[in-house]
């Protein structure tokens, strides 16, 4: 069975906050020959852990890394690693993925209203424009 995991599957396995759902997810994944975790799934997973469950960056990074260690997991590892690097540097996982994906797709300038994201992307060597809502 080749599975595409939704965010709630990763959350139940990680948090075990609903034992029945956690067990059902684990039992089903044991039958999988491939577990695909898409970038939006990891981005949403990181966001829910941070915002909904108030987990800190090291906990979130560890949770994401635990899925990367599963042999049957298929994902865009360079993008996930970029998100993890951004997360470890104090930024948002999704912003790291966005900056990496944008550069890979040919973008040259990161445009944002987010001061922290702008600082971290600039530190990575990408030109950055920080917009202000002030006229």
Fold of the domain built from segment(s) 2-106? Rossmann fold (3.40.50)
Closest CA to 30 of 3, 69, 11: 3
Tell me: the pLDDT tens digits for 3-24? 999 999 999 999 999 999 999 9
The structure's pTM equals: 0.91
Q: How much is the pLDDT for 124?
A: 87
Tell me: the pLDDT tens digits for 16-69? 999 999 999 999 999 999 999 999 999 999 999 999 999 999 999 999 999 999
Tell me: the pLDDT tens digits for 70-121? 999 999 999 999 999 999 999 999 999 999 999 999 999 999 999 999 999 9
Helices of type H across the chain: 7-15, 19-29, 39-47, 57-68, 77-88, 93-104, 115-123
Q: How much is the pLDDT for 51?
A: 95
Percent of the chain at pLDDT > 90 equals 96
How far, in Å, CA of 95 to CA of 89, rounded? 12
């Amino acid at each position: 069975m080749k599975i595409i995991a939704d965010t709630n599957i990763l959350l139940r396995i990680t948090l075990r906050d609903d034992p029945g759902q956690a067990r059902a997810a684990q039992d089903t994944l044991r039958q999988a020959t491939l577990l695909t975790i898409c970038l939006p799934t990891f981005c949403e997973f990181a966001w829910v852990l941070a915002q909904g469950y108030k987990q800190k960056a090291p906990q979130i990074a560890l949770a994401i890394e635990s899925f990367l260690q599963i042999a049957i997991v298929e994902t865009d590892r360079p993008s996930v690693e970029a998100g993890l690097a951004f997360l470890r540097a104090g930024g948002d996982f999704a912003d790291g993925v966005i900056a990496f994906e944008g550069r890979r797709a040919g973008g040259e300038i990161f445009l944002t209203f987010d001061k922290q994201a702008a600082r971290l992307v600039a530190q990575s060597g990408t030109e950055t424009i920080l917009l202000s809502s002030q006229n």
